[in-house]
Amino acid sequence: MSERGSFVTQFIYCGECLEKMKKVLIQDHKYLKGVQVEGWKTEDERRLSPLPIIAGKIGGLYGGEELCEFQFKLFNKENAPCHEVICAVIPDSGTPQFFVVLPDGSVECYEDFKRDKNEEEQIQLEIERENES
């Protein structure tokens, strides 16, 4: 079994976000197969509730299609989570890519998202400093 085309979400704390992500990612299609990660077993062998993490396989017909599919085709405004959800995808190249699914349904590369957030924070700090003067 290859790790290529694997994906996993962060631990999703919001129940509504988890349900929306499950509707998108937990499917059983030729190029998308997702599951919710099972909970731990207790000492008496009972299984705890599933963890709020979704993992699976995503693929396509050509190398790198899994990245295009994840970033541009799976999510839209109607099925987007209400909070930002970070996901990791290991494409055919084997180099992990991190994405952020945003509440507006868009999906950004994590590096771009983080850079934009830092720039927004810097601008806000500058505004606060100017207001204090």
The arithmetic mean of pLDDT across residues 114-133, rounded, is 83
Angstrom distances, CA of residue 63 to CA of 2, 66, 69, 94, 99: 14, 8, 11, 11, 18
Task: Assess if residue 62 is contained within a domain.
Answer: yes
Task: Assess if residue 74 is contained within a domain.
Answer: yes
Task: Assess if residue 79 is contained within a domain.
Answer: yes
Least confident of 4-8, 15-19, 120-124: 120-124
The arithmetic mean of pLDDT across residues 64-84, rounded, is 93
Task: Assess if residue 1 is contained within a domain.
Answer: no
* pLDDT at residue 34 in the model: 96
Mean pLDDT of the chain: 89
Task: Assess if residue 99 is contained within a domain.
Answer: yes
pLDDT higher for 21 or 1? 21
The distance in angstroms from the start CA to the end CA of the chain is: 61
Residue 24, phi then psi, degrees to nearest 5 = -85, -45
Distance of alpha carbon 48 from alpha carbon 6, whole angstroms:
24
Say how many domains are in the chain.
1
Domain encompassing residue 19: 6-132
The arithmetic mean of pLDDT across residues 98-122, rounded, is 90
